[in-house]
Each structure stands twice: as structure tokens, then as C-alpha cells.
Amino acid sequence: MGLARPSFTPAPPRPSLESVTTINTDGSRPYLHPADVSGRFTLFRKVSALFLIAFYLVLPWITIGGYPAVFLDIAERRFHLFGLTFAAQDMWLTFFLITGLGFSLFFITALLGRIWCGYACPHTVFLDHVYRRIERWIEGDAIARRALDAAPPGPGKLFKRTLKHRPISACPWSSPISSSPTSFPCMNSGR
């Protein structure tokens, strides 16, 4: 009997100016599976995320001037933002609004970037504290998710992926920020 050779895994490529380390040699993208983190500020981050998720989900139900605080009425081409109503002909104002928001974002990010990006950005809040929680709950920790990715296709893998995408695809529909009036008739009852 011969000795079995140990399997050799090549080291990941070192960054250089001639290569891109976020693309595999075959052109595919390596998937990242972030692990759970712990530390001094983790509890504060989770509490602030729960508060912000509640705020983001309740915001359309707060009435200001007879309309929800944030309601993008696409069917009627009206946008209600904190008591201000913008119609389609008011779109020239969006240049100034977006420019002001852009400069504010750059300024605040330069001063307090980690606070905004790590704690308050809606993308980060929903990704880390809703979608990744669902993924960890169904597929396991980072090591289990890497093993699931490396596993050959099969019924177990298909079941977990389908089970994961059901609640994830239902999450955007839980917020009535952008909808037609027929989708949420209770939103129009205040008119």
C-alpha cells in the first residue's frame, strides 16, 4: 500500500498591479461568506439596527399632511417626502436635492464614515441584520456556507437555497414605501 499524498491547496494570489484578486483565473467571482463578529460595539450595533429597521418599516405609516411620511406613488407620479409633495413636473428640483444629498454624504462620510456605513446606512442595516441573519439561520455559519458552496448539486443544497430565498424575496414587499395606491388601500384612506 502506498502512502496517500496530502491534498495541496494553492495559496490565494498576492495582490499585484497585473492581476485582480477578486476574480478567479477562470473569470468567475469568488464568493465571500462573512463570519459572525463579536466585540465591544456589537451589542450597540445590533440594538441600533433593530431601532433603524423598525424606523424604516414604520416610516411609511406615519402621516404628515394627509400622506405617509415617505411614499413614492409611482402610478400617480407623485412623491411624498416628509410633508412635501413632488409631481412629475417638479423633477428639475431633484438636481438640487441630489446634489445637496451627494455633498452632504461626502462630507458626513469624510467625518463620520464608519458610523454611517457601519451603523445607519439602510443597505448595511438590512444586509447585515436581516438578509445575513436569514442566511446564517438556514445555511449555517461561514464555514458551513463555504462547504455548501463547494458541495455538488443535490436535493439538500437545492432545498437550503430555496428555503433561504423565500423569506429574502419576501422582505422587500414588507415595506410599502413604493407602491401603487391599489397595493395598499389603507395608505389612501387619509385623503
> For residue 164, how many other CB atoms are within 10 A of its CB?
19
Q: Give the pLDDT confidence of 28-73 residue by residue, as tens digits.
A: 888 888 888 888 888 888 999 999 988 888 887 788 888 888 888 7
Question: Is pLDDT above 70 for 152?
Answer: yes
Q: What is the pLDDT of residue 182?
A: 47
Q: What is the largest CA-CA distance in the chain?
A: 84
**Helix, strand or coil for residue 5?**
coil
CB 62 within 8 A of CB 55: no
Residue 2's pLDDT is what? 56
Do 167 and 134 contact (CB within 8 A), yes or no?
Answer: yes
Q: In sequence order, what E strands does the chain have?
A: 63-64, 67-68, 70-73, 78-81, 84-87
- Of the candidates 117, 114, 132, which has an alpha carbon nearest to the alpha carbon of residue 33? 132
The 10s digit of each residue's pLDDT in 157-179 is 999 988 988 887 776 655 555 44
Question: Strand (E) positions, 32-148?
Answer: 63-64, 67-68, 70-73, 78-81, 84-87
